[in-house]
Amino acid sequence: MLKNAEILLILVLLFTSAFPQHVSTKESDKGLYYEALKTYLEKNEQEYSRLFPERDFRNVIVATDSFITKNLPDKIGVYSINFVSYDELLELVKKRTATDSEEKISVVEVHPIRNEGNKLVVKFVESNARYEKKQLSLAVSDGANIYFSFDCSKQSYIIDRVDFFGI
């Protein structure tokens, strides 16, 4: 009997954690990636706008991912998001290199949701994109981990915390 209960528990855990990308919250049916991106944009501007006043935090380039970013909007509140493939990013960087002394472009990559104990985490990595030696070069600069926890009373995922990191 105990073996059957253990197997059932393992199967439940596998299936509930294997597909968390499609889980939505009750407050918003837009999904965890939407909530994570919205939080990242807001908190990133709050955290760094005083340090980098010349930077435009409200117009962001995000690398496309066929699964993660395909249903995300190109506008969230005051933030405009330009989703680009790596080929499109290469062309943007080439144009910038040819016309501007500031040749790097900041691009955000959204990583798949992962489990960390009882939390779900979405990682955002910001890199400086340049055109070097006839190829696209990405140098990681910083990023953030957005932590979700499940609120049993609300029956939904909520933002637990945001941890920034830098290189």
Question: What percentage of the chain carries pLDDT values higher than 70?
Answer: 78
Region of 31 on the Ramachandran plot (φ > 0 left; ψ -120 to 50 alpha; else beta):
left
Q: What is the rounded CA–CA span in Å between residue 141 and residue 165?
A: 9
Q: How far apart are CA 125 and CA 4, in angstroms?
A: 41
The reported pLDDT for the residue numbered 17 is 45
Structural domain count, the chain: 1
Put simply, whether the predicted model's pTM sits higher than 0.85 gets the answer no
Q: Which residue is associated with the tokens 């989703």? A: 83
Cβ–Cβ under 8 Å, residues 103 and 97: yes
H helices within the chain, ranges in order? 2-18, 32-48, 86-99
> Picking from 18-32, 52-66, 114-128, which range would have the lowest pLDDT averaged per residue?
18-32
8 Å CB contact between 128 and 103: no
Mean pLDDT (whole number) for 16-21: 44
Range of 63's domain?
Answer: 27-166
Q: Is residue 18 in a domain?
A: no
The residue-averaged pLDDT of 118-145 equals 94
Q: What pLDDT score was predicted for residue 95?
A: 85
pLDDT at 132: 85
- Inside any domain, residue 120: yes
Tokens of 97: 């290199």
Q: Confirm whether 13 is domain-assigned.
A: no
**Euclidean distance between CA atoms 95 and 84, whole angstroms:** 15
* Interatomic CA distance for residues 58 and 37, integer angstroms: 12
Report the candidate in 82, 80, 96, 83 with the shortest Cα–Cα distance to residue 129: 96
Residue 6 within any structural domain of the chain: no
